[in-house]
Amino acid sequence: MRTPPIFDGHNDLLLKLHRRVTDVEGVVSGYRGGHIDLPRARRGGFAGGFFAVYVPGSIEEAEAADDLMRRPRYDVALPPAIGWSAAIAVVIDQIAWAHRLEAAGAVTICRDAPALEEAIGGERMAAVLHMEGAEAIDADFAALEVFHAAGLRSLGPVWSRPNAFGHGVPFRYPSTGDTGSGLTDLGKELVRRCNALKIMLDVSHLNERGFDDLAAITDAPIVATHSNAHAVCPHARNLTDRQLERIRDSDGMVGLNFAAAFLRPDGRMDSDVGLDLILRQLDHLIGILGEDCVGFGSDFDGATVPDAIGDCAGLPALRRAMLAHGYGEELMEKFCWRNWARVLGKTWGG
């Protein structure tokens, strides 16, 4: 059996570069730490994925949230909104890092479906530029057009905080995602503008009302790039069966998130997670979405992932577990990359 490459729905490598945790040479030649670099990608058969452009809060906020999420129950307060003037420079810097990686031969920034399929089989990582939270988009949407010209092809209106476009879902366990109001009028217009530009829309951090608003407006497949099933792990960030059915009916897609807190039934951000929990999530997602609408959305470089995987070099262990679980060759190809190629091709057009 041919080993299928894995194209993944979400990583935060560009944030590592923005924070100077590593640099272009570290990604090209390898570095200690993080989850992704080119040598590890080649060892693990990691073909690339959605490279997120994300405006972070403080490191202290992130560390405090991580500590809370190790408790049996928790409710992490939504961080304050970040304004456009603070966000724009961060986003430009991260997009610049993506272009530096491309110039150095580490990635190919994919702007259409043929380029994506060609890159998945190549020596570089295939990169789809994804904006996680639209804080850097102005009310006139001029920045959206500029970012699209720079290669942006996927966008989540919010991260887990409020902004001008909507309200993010909190990191809360146990909880549903029914946690506030939906998209603002500006957020609804953002959906329409993304549809017009053929930018894929991601519902991963939206609360339930925002999800429903987006689903009612969009003319494209509904996609959650890095989310799991609430029925398996009742975390606010995970999707209910009703939401999964709505995604299925749109011919959309869910990328299974490796973040421990969204895998474990107890919701704890603890890396002592067996691959059986990933398979349990996969089985549930397939049972509702079908075999054409499920893939991976690891959250590499942005979350605590199972020790059984570790980083992108550890992906062969997941492939072996999937084979032992009874997934056949055709199904493996779909989960590992073909389903992402399908939904992006349908969203982006010819």
Q: What is the pLDDT of residue 350?
A: 64
Cα–Cα distance measured from residue 149 to residue 296, given in angstroms and rounded to the nearest whole number: 27
Mind spelling out the 3-state secondary structure of 179-235? Answer: CCCCCCHHHHHHHHHHHHHCCEEECCCECHHHHHHHHHHCCCCCEECCCCECCCCCC
Q: Split the chain (350 residues) into runs of 10 and give each run's mean pLDDT.
A: 91 98 99 98 99 96 95 96 97 99 99 97 97 99 99 99 98 97 98 99 99 99 99 99 99 99 98 97 99 99 98 98 97 98 94
Contact present, 127 and 109 (Cβ < 8 Å): yes
Q: What is the pLDDT of residue 1?
A: 60
- Token pair, residue 60, equals 């202290």
Every domain of the chain and the residues it spans: 6-348
Q: What is the pLDDT of residue 279?
A: 98
- Token pair, residue 231, equals 């029925």
CA distances from 250 to 20, 93, 125, 126, 257 (A): 39, 34, 29, 25, 21
What class, spelled out in words, does domain 6-348 have in CATH? alpha beta
Q: Which residue has the tokens 């990686």?
A: 101
Cα–Cα distance measured from residue 332 to residue 334, given in angstroms and rounded to the nearest whole number: 5
Report the DSSP pairing between strands 125-132 and 172-173: unpaired
Q: What is the pLDDT of residue 8?
A: 98
Q: What is the pLDDT of residue 232?
A: 99
Cα–Cα distance measured from residue 346 to residue 113, given in angstroms and rounded to the nearest whole number: 9
Q: What is the pLDDT of residue 134?
A: 99
Contacts of 273 (CB under 8 A, 6+ apart): 260, 263, 264, 306, 307, 308
Give the model confidence (pLDDT) of 294-334 as tens digits: 999 999 999 999 999 999 999 999 999 999 999 999 999 99
Q: What is the pLDDT of residue 342?
A: 98
Cα–Cα distance measured from residue 119 to residue 113, given in angstroms and rounded to the nearest whole number: 10
- Give the closest residue to 251 by CA, choosing from 284, 291, 210, 214: 291
Report whether the peptide linkage leading into residue 174 is cis, meaning its omega lies within 30 degrees of zero. yes
- Cβ density class 124-152: b for 16+ within 10 Å, e for less: bbbbbbbbbbbbbbeeebebbeebbebbb
Report the DSSP pairing between strands 294-296 and 253-256: parallel
Q: What is the pLDDT of residue 184?
A: 99
CB atoms within 10 A of CB 122: 12
CA distances from 348 to 201, 217, 220, 341 (A): 11, 17, 9, 10
